């Protein structure tokens, strides 16, 4: 633990932005939760930007977890050297996602019933359970790392992290893929896409932040391949959507999404941070397009209120929730960097 942190360490432009983001995003979030409804949701489009932000950040966190687990299980010394940094980043991003999710849930205090009255048939229950277990595992690993305790628990924890992280991403997909009345959602593709987006966005985030040039440079080929894979998956989905005659299917893939990921795959070598940023933007866009489009076909009598197909655009309050999620992630990350990662370079954890 770094005990040399002073107030001066917080007097930086980055912290200024973080605090501003927390004030704006936090203010809007708290008003939505305890004041009055100001998000752009309706009775027919209920999953909007807050949920997109949560899934975007949660998937990035999942990707980092998968990388961490792989590093230990495959004996990759480079990844293992940056275990503490990756743990801090992983926890920060996941907490940012949870902050966004909190503004989306209507009755946060009733979350206790996830434990007291579980429904194992519900994909949302599994998603919440997996991510809670994942966060717990991350804190346990971080605590062990800070105490310098490395031994027989490391491999079981890594396996548990890998299984839980992959399960978490797939069950987010299942939340949508199991809906029988939403053709744009239905099927296993959602789970497959999200479990692929997870390492893509997680690796992209590490490359983008570039705290360790050594680690980032090693990950660039991985990031490019994953971006290329996402582009291929989106191309397939686009072709299937174009051919589909399913009643009620709108189709959510925009060809520009393909271009974005293809550009990220091609540009990765010469402009790795731009490539990584394209992946992060692309993954947000994919999630936004997927989640919103699936709700645009209005069901039943609500067509009398909203029309057969409705439209949606986020308002400033929803954008503020995006700011909240990113600000919370940034705040936790930078606090961890100051207190737990000594010096400006990445600190070797063990090796």
Partner 1 sequence: MGYGMVIDQQLCVGCAACTIACKAENNTPVGFNWCDKITSTQGTFPNVRYEYISTMCNHCENAPCVLACPTQAMYKDKQTGLTLHNPNKCIGCKACMVNCPYGVIKFNWDTPHPDWREANRLAEGVFSPREMVAEVGGDGSPTSNPERDSTYPSLRQRGTVEKCTFCDHRLAQNLEPACVEACPSGARQFGDIDDPNSAVSRLVKLHGGQGLRAELGTKPRVIYIRDYRPTRRVAPARPENKG
Chain positions contacting partner 1, by CB under 8 A: 36-37, 41, 43-44, 46-47, 104-108, 110-111, 113-114, 116-119, 121-125, 128, 175, 178-182, 294-295, 298-305
Alpha helices in 31-82, H assignment, sequence order: 49-73, 77-81
Provide, rounded to whole angstroms, the least separation between the CB of residue 295 and partner 1.
Answer: 7
SS (H, E, C) 182-229: CCCCCCCHHHHHHHHHHHHHHHHHHHHHCCCHHHHHHHHHHHHHHHHH
Query: Which DSSP string corresponds to 224-239?
Result: HHHHHHHHHHHHHHHH
Provide, rounded to whole angstroms, the least separation between the CB of residue 180 and partner 1.
Answer: 5
Measured from the CB atom, the residue of 16 and 35 that comes closer to partner 1 is 35
Rounded-to-integer distance, Cα 308 and Cα 1, Å: 58
Tokens 């985030």 found at:
205
10 Å Cβ neighbour count for 5?
12
Measured from the CB atom, the residue of 178 and 237 that comes closer to partner 1 is 178
Provide, rounded to whole angstroms, the least separation between the CB of residue 333 and partner 1.
Answer: 27
Q: Are 81 and 317 in contact (CB under 8 A)?
A: no
Two tokens, residue 75: 């004996």
Measured from the CB atom, the residue of 272 and 293 that comes closer to partner 1 is 293
Provide, rounded to whole angstroms, the least separation between the CB of residue 171 and partner 1.
Answer: 11
Two tokens, residue 218: 């090693």
Measured from the CB atom, the residue of 82 and 131 that comes closer to partner 1 is 131
Two tokens, residue 20: 């501003």
Provide, rounded to whole angstroms, the least separation between the CB of residue 56 and partner 1.
Answer: 18
Rounded-to-integer distance, Cα 153 and Cα 144, Å: 9
Provide, rounded to whole angstroms, the least separation between the CB of residue 4 and partner 1.
Answer: 43
Measured from the CB atom, the residue of 183 and 202 that comes closer to partner 1 is 183
Contacts of 312 (CB under 8 A, 6+ apart): 40, 42, 45, 48, 292, 295, 296
10 Å Cβ neighbour count for 30?
13
Measured from the CB atom, the residue of 85 and 176 that comes closer to partner 1 is 176
Two tokens, residue 275: 């490539």
H-run or E-run covering 45: none
Measured from the CB atom, the residue of 175 and 205 that comes closer to partner 1 is 175
Q: If we measure between CA atoms, which residue out of 43, 47, 49 comes closest to residue 315?
A: 49
Provide, rounded to whole angstroms, the least separation between the CB of residue 22 and partner 1.
Answer: 23
Tokens 């308002």 found at:
315
Strand partners of residue 297: 309
Rounded-to-integer distance, Cα 216 and Cα 203, Å: 8
Measured from the CB atom, the residue of 238 and 306 that comes closer to partner 1 is 306
Provide, rounded to whole angstroms, the least separation between the CB of residue 138 and partner 1.
Answer: 22
10 Å Cβ neighbour count for 304?
9
Provide, rounded to whole angstroms, the least separation between the CB of residue 136 and partner 1.
Answer: 18
Measured from the CB atom, the residue of 41 and 61 that comes closer to partner 1 is 41
Q: If we measure between CA atoms, which residue out of 55, 67, 62, 133 comes closest to residue 100?
A: 55
């Amino acid at each position: 633990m770094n005990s040399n942190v002073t107030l001066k360490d917080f007097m930086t432009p980055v912290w200024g932005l973080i605090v501003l983001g927390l004030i704006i995003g936090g203010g809007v979030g708290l008003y939505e939760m305890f004041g009055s409804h100001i998000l752009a949701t309706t009775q027919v489009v209920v999953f909007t930007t807050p949920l997109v932000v949560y899934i975007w950040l949660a998937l990035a966190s999942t990707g980092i977890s998968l990388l961490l687990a792989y590093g230990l299980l495959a004996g990759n010394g480079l990844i293992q050297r940056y275990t503490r940094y990756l743990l801090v980043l992983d926890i920060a991003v996941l907490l940012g996602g949870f902050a966004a999710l909190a503004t989306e849930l209507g009755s946060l205090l009733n979350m206790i019933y996830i434990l007291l009255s579980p429904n194992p048939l519900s994909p949302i229950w599994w998603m919440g359970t997996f991510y809670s277990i994942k966060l717990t595992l991350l804190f346990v690993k971080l605590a062990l790392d800070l105490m310098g305790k490395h031994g027989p628990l490391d491999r079981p924890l890594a396996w548990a992290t890998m299984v839980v992280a992959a399960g978490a991403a797939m069950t987010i997909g299942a939340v949508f893929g199991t809906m029988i009345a939403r053709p744009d959602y239905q099927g296993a593709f959602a789970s497959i896409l999200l479990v692929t987006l997870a390492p893509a966005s997680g690796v992209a985030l590490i490359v983008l932040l570039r705290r360790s040039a050594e680690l980032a440079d090693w990950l660039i080929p991985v990031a490019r391949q994953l971006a290329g894979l996402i582009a291929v998956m989106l191309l397939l989905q686009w072709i299937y959507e174009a051919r589909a005659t399913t009643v009620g299917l709108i189709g959510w893939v925009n060809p520009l999404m393909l271009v974005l990921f293809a550009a990220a795959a091609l540009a990765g070598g010469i402009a790795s941070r731009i490539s990584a940023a394209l992946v992060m933007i692309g993954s947000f866009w994919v999630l936004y397009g997927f989640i919103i489009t699936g709700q645009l076909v209005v069901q039943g009598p609500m067509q009398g209120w909203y029309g057969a197909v409705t439209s949606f655009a986020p308002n400033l309050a929803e954008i503020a929730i995006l700011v909240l999620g990113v600000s919370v992630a940034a705040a936790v990350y930078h606090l961890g960097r100051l207190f737990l990662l000594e010096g400006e370079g990445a600190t070797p954890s063990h090796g």
